[in-house]
Amino acid sequence: MTIQSLGGQGARLLPWSEDGKWCLLKTDDPNGLISRLADGLEEEQLGSGEAVLKAARKVLDNPLSTHAEVRYALLRATESLTSVLRIAESRGMRLEDVDEVAV
C-alpha cells in the first residue's frame, strides 16, 4: 500500500490511526492546524520513545527483573517502535513529495 494509492501526492500520513487504519491529511498548507498538531504529536511520541527505551534498558540490565516487568517493558517498547516507524514512514513520504516537486 502506498500513499499515492490512498490519498495521492501531497497526502500526509498522520501519527495516529483509526481502528488501525491510516489517517491521511491532504492539504495545500503544510503549516495548517492539523499539520502543526501532527508535528507536535510526533515530537511527543519521539520523546516518549526515548523514555521507554531508557526504562526498558534498566529492566533488561537488571538480572532480578521479573517476567511481568520484562513483558511490560517489551509491550511499551513495541508501542513506541510502532509510533516511530509511522513517523519515519510519514516523513519519508513527504520527502518523496518534495523530491518529485523539485524535479
pLDDT digit string (tens) for 30-60?
Answer: 889 999 999 999 999 999 999 999 999 999 9
Instruction: Give the helix ranges, DSSP H, for 7-103.
Output: 33-61, 67-102
Domain range holding 18?
A: 3-102
Number of domains in the chain: 1
Q: Quick one: angle between helices 33-61 and 67-102, nearest 10?
A: 140
Is 13 strand, coil or helix? strand
> How confident is residue 19, by pLDDT bands cut at 50, 70 and 90?
confident
| Structural element, H or E, at residue 22 | strand 21-26
Is 34 strand, coil or helix? helix
The predicted model scores a pTM of 0.77
